Amino acid sequence: MRDTNFLIENNAKSIWHPMAHPAEMRANPPKIIMKGEGVHVTDVNGRTLLDAVGGLWNVNLGYSCDPIKKAIADQLDALPYYSGFRGTSTGPSIELAYELTEWFKPEGMARAFFTSGGSDSVESALRLARQYWKIKGQSDRTKFLALKKGYHGTHFGGASVNGNANFRRNYEPLLPGVFHAPAPWTYRNPFNETDPARLAQLCAAAMEDEIAFQGADTIAAFIMEPVLGAGGVIVPPDGFMKLAREICDRHGILMISDEVVTGFGRTGAWSGARLSGVKPDMMTLAKAITSGYFPLGATLINEKIAEAFEGDQTTFGSIGHGYTYSGHPVGCAAGIAALAETKRLKLDENAVARGKELALALEQLKVRHAIVGDVRYKGLMAGIELVSDRDSKKAADKKTMAAVADGACEAGVMLRVSGNNLILSPPLILTTADVAKIAEGIDAGL
């Protein structure tokens, strides 16, 4: 690689960064991250930061997981690539599919379809949902229902079910036939309802009202994140996801649990659906499936859908969908090692224990700083919503958000800003001392 002067000089010149304005990146060049160790990353200036973002919600095992590195190196030696399209298969993809369906058996998952990341996994789920209804002879069921504030990636299907205008406006028109119900968000909702149980009922009623308006027999699937991540870590009231499942059942609508962030222990359970006591029809996975060491995703499918495809007597059952890198052997080898380490280290239990410590610290920050409007958390995912005024809940401006993140960075903690939220999704190997350091960093920033 070229020297650091070259990197600094060319930073944001030839590269466009996702989710950023290119001119802003030029004016205020992004940090260049050079190294990672444990829960820390080091930038090009030699400054080491505790990574409270965990890469991008994905580096659950931190940056020094030797078993994953070895699995990748060994697989590169043995077979760096072979296709998973009809006619060929590879050892790691067979093994990882087996592991995933075993792991998520309690959620009812029976088959795995591999992808290259979260957006692919969502797109695959949406497409398979439509195909399922064609197989079942109900080809009117083409529409999708989702939640406002939800995030489901950037492909056209995923962007269409996204519930945030920031990810939609510049790319409209998106898919027709996609509708959104209110997010079960106690801090801000159209009903001005702060009681979680009542809010869950109101949001469920609004969802059912939209289904009635559209015609239940036109809706293919409902998609939701068990905890809405990029929308600001919105934790639905207990019982909401179950209510949504019941509504889907009542109207024959498939339920897709988007577990791209919540899968593999982030919320303190192995999946958000399990945490909510729900069995979805499909689950979308990516991110922590390899702890970020290799791009990989998967769409998991339950027995009901699998049987429909496998027992199909028409031409509708053939999967005319997939990616060159579906089941990439190196990615799958990384996944097998990441999942084994995730289980061995009981990262779900650590997310619960450290999550409790983090929650306490965040509640204290809310008491200490009037700019903190709301703190939300589940396991080791958390959002701190900043406001310029607590009564009106007016969102803090961009400059304030950047100043807080910069302040935390000065104090040695890397945070992520999403709208007027600070997002925390640290590696799940976090220690009690790391939690304290994160809290101190945010405190300094605030």
Q: Residue numbers of the site for ligand PLP (CB under 6 A)?
A: 117-119, 122, 151-153, 225, 229-230, 258, 260-261, 286
> Please, what is the minimum distance in Å from the beta carbon of residue 230 to ligand PLP?
5
- The smaller minimum CB distance to ligand PLP, of residues 92 and 297, is found at 297
Q: How far is the CB of 57 from ligand PLP (least distance, A)?
A: 6
Question: Among residues 71 and 230, whose Cβ is nearest to ligand PLP?
Answer: 230
Compare residues 422 and 439 and give the one whose CB is closer to ligand PLP: 422
CB of 150 to ligand PLP, least distance (A): 8
Q: How far is the CB of 307 from ligand PLP (least distance, A)?
A: 27
Residue 358 CA neighbour count, 13 Å, CB half = 32
Q: Smallest distance, Å, CB 121 to ligand PLP? A: 7
Strand, helix or coil for residue 286: coil
Which residue's CB is nearer to ligand PLP, number 231 or number 355? 231
User: Which residue of the chain is nearest ligand PLP when measured via CB?
Assistant: 118
Judging by DSSP bridges, how do beta strands 394-395 and 381-389 pair with one another? antiparallel
Helices (H), 345-412: 347-368, 398-410
Q: Least distance to ligand PLP from the beta carbon of 32, Å?
A: 21
- Comparing CB distances to ligand PLP, the nearer of 107 and 258 is 258
Query: And the tokens for 198?
Result: 């009542």
Within 104-173, residue ranges assigned H as helices are 118-135, 156-161
Q: Which is nearer to ligand PLP, 154 or 218 (CB)?
A: 154
| Rg for the chain, CA atoms, rounded | 22
CB of 225 or CB of 374, closer to ligand PLP: 225
C-alpha to C-alpha distance for 40 and 443, rounded to whole angstroms: 19
Q: How far is the CB of 338 from ligand PLP (least distance, A)?
A: 15
| Shortest separation between residue 287's beta carbon and ligand PLP, angstroms | 6
User: Measured between alpha carbons, how far is 294 from 116 in angstroms, rounded to an integer?
Assistant: 9
Compute the least distance from the CB of residue 231 to ligand PLP, in Å: 9
Q: Which of residues 107 and 225 has its CB atom nearest to ligand PLP in the complex?
A: 225
Nearer to ligand PLP, 229 or 280 (CB): 229
Nearest approach, Cβ of residue 229 and ligand PLP (Å):
5
Cis bond upstream, residue 173 (ω within 30): yes
SS3 assignment, position 146: strand
Count Cβ atoms within 10 A of the Cβ of residue 38 and give its class: 0-12 exposed, 13-18 middle, 19 or more buried: middle
Instruction: Please name which of 271, 241, 264, 234 lies closest in space to residue 377, comparing C-alpha atoms.
Output: 234
Q: How far apart are CA 410 and CA 42, in angstroms?
A: 13
How far, in Å, are 83, 84, 300, 333 from residue 87 at the CA level? 9, 8, 21, 20
Using CA atoms, how far residue 70 sits from 59, 67, 291, 379, in Å, is 17, 5, 14, 29
Q: Please give the DSSP secondary-structure letter assigned to residue 76.
A: H
Cα angle 321-322-326, degrees, rounded to a multiple of 5:
160
Amino acid at 153: G
221 vs 308 by CB, closer to ligand PLP: 221
